[in-house]
Amino acid sequence: MPADARDAFDRPLRDLRVSVTDRCNFRCVYCMPKEVFGPAFQFLDREELLTYEEIERLARLFVARGVEKIRITGGEPLVRRGLPGLVRRLAAVEGLRDLTLTTNGALLPAQAAPLREAGLRRVTVSLDSLDDAVFRAMNDVDAGVEVVLAGIEAALAAGLGPVKVNAVVRRGLNDHTIVDLARHFHGSGVIVRFIEYMDVGTTNGWALDHVTPAAEIVARIDAVLPLEPADPNYRGEVARRYRYRDGGGEIGVISSITEPFCGDCTRARLSPEGSLYTCLFGANGFDLRALLRAGADDAELSEAIARVWRVREDRYSELRTEATSGLARVEMSHIGG
Ligand code: SAM
Ligand code: SF4
Ligand code: SF4
């Protein structure tokens, strides 16, 4: 039995985010701006992607090294063909405690039931605003709010709850609509998590003054729907929780810019072509696919994973300055957030 992996700062390896595609049916302006991800953009070829068999094999090895939770992401994971087949394989991995998925929700009406049936337990659905014009401008493919709300309904009907909603807040685009979003889901059991706009990738034109700080988000909601802080559910939880004082549920804020949480970061990320990243802001990953396809056995692969984790010193968000946001790094739509 291999030992749990610990990094250079003694952080254990607990979470794995698996990006299954670099493609997406949306073009969110903060993630895949059309000027860059247009018709000429070279996405990965099919044979470059890890197969579901390869992902399952790696997942087992990650779990043996301490991973308890896997999140499937993308690009948009639901555009990859046969995704329930991957879910079925991952749900059967012994020792895995939690299996979830992040999606823009547009394809959930067709896929929620097969995903649940395959063993998915929960989903997070991204929805940045309930104002239709604002939302259409943000996803930039003219997808209306009703498309995503239908996806959330389908997830709940299929038993994929409690559903979480991710909303990226970009000042000047949707920050004036956050209270409406909170109010809409207040009392519904759906937990909205507001995410500070991050300098992920190098194509979204990020600047510090585009960020609405988490404290401001909380204050604006608290003024209308009073909130109180709630304890984290577990060590390393990314979202800071706030409970409605009237018992109407809770919200979360993810303050990676104003209050970084690298000290508790237990997340590894696997790219669609099988590179292992130990930070969302990494420039290069470790090529596990090369090892896999060269015929490495499980022990060699497992040792490679542990070796990469052992030397990990990442704490990008704690070191962030305006200058670091220009450094080379992987795109969010590739690695999946
Ligand atoms: N396509 C799926 C979706 O949108 O849910 C999964 C992949 S997406 C990259 C994962 C999450 O990252 C989404 O909730 C998205 O809103 C968030 N995200 C993308 N770009 C971001 C940015 N620049 N800052 C903060 N969050 C971002
Ligand atoms: Fe696609 Fe998700 Fe990025 Fe939007 S945030 S472009 S839905 S990958
Ligand atoms: Fe983890 Fe890197 Fe984000 Fe820090 S910046 S929380 S190390 S992914």
Domain with residues 15-335, CATH architecture: Alpha-Beta Barrel (3.20)
- 155 CB neighbour count, 10 Å cutoff: 29
Q: For residue 11, give the ligand nearest its CA.
A: 3
Integer Cα distance of 135 and 114 in angstroms: 28
For 327-330, the CB contacts below 8 A with 24+ separation are 327/202, 327/281, 327/283, 328/202, 328/283, 329/200, 329/201, 329/202, 329/281, 329/282, 329/283, 330/201, 330/271, 330/277, 330/280, 330/281, 330/282, 330/283, 330/285
CB 139 within 8 A of CB 24: no
Integer Cα distance of 122 and 337 in angstroms: 17
Ligand 1 within 6 A of CB of 204: yes
Atom of ligand 3 nearest to the CA of 316: 5
Give residue 202 CA to ligand 3 midpoint distance, Å: 16
Give residue 268 CA to ligand 3 midpoint distance, Å: 10
- Which amino acid would we find at residue 106? A
What's the start-to-end Cα distance of the chain, in Å?
Answer: 30
Structure-token match 């959930």, residue found = 108
Atom of ligand 1 nearest to the CA of 26: 1
Secondary element (H or E) of residue 178:
helix 178-185
Q: What is the mean pLDDT of residues 237-265?
A: 94
6-57: pLDDT as tens digits: 999 999 999 999 999 999 999 999 999 999 999 999 999 999 999 999 999 9
CB 103 within 8 A of CB 126: yes
Q: Which DSSP symbol is given to 170?
A: B
Q: Which DSSP symbol is given to 166?
A: E
Integer Cα distance of 114 and 120 in angstroms: 9
66-107: pLDDT as tens digits: 999 999 999 999 999 999 999 999 999 999 999 999 999 999
Report the nearest-CA residue for atom 8 of ligand 1. 336
Report the nearest-CA residue for atom 7 of ligand 3. 315
Give residue 337 CA to ligand 1 midpoint distance, Å: 6
| % the chain with pLDDT above 90 | 83
* 332: confidence class by pLDDT, cuts 50, 70, 90: confident
Is residue 323 pLDDT above 70, yes or no? no
Q: For residue 195, give the ligand nearest its CA.
A: 1
Rounded-to-5 percentages of helix, strand, coil across the chain: 35, 20, 50
Atom of ligand 2 nearest to the CA of 27: 6
Secondary element (H or E) of residue 191:
strand 191-196
141-164: pLDDT as tens digits: 999 999 999 999 999 999 998 999
Q: What residues does ligand 2 touch, defined as CB less than 6 Å away? A: 24, 26-28, 31-32, 74-76, 104, 126, 333
The domain locations on the chain are 15-335
Nearest alpha carbon to residue 67 among 236, 197, 246: 236
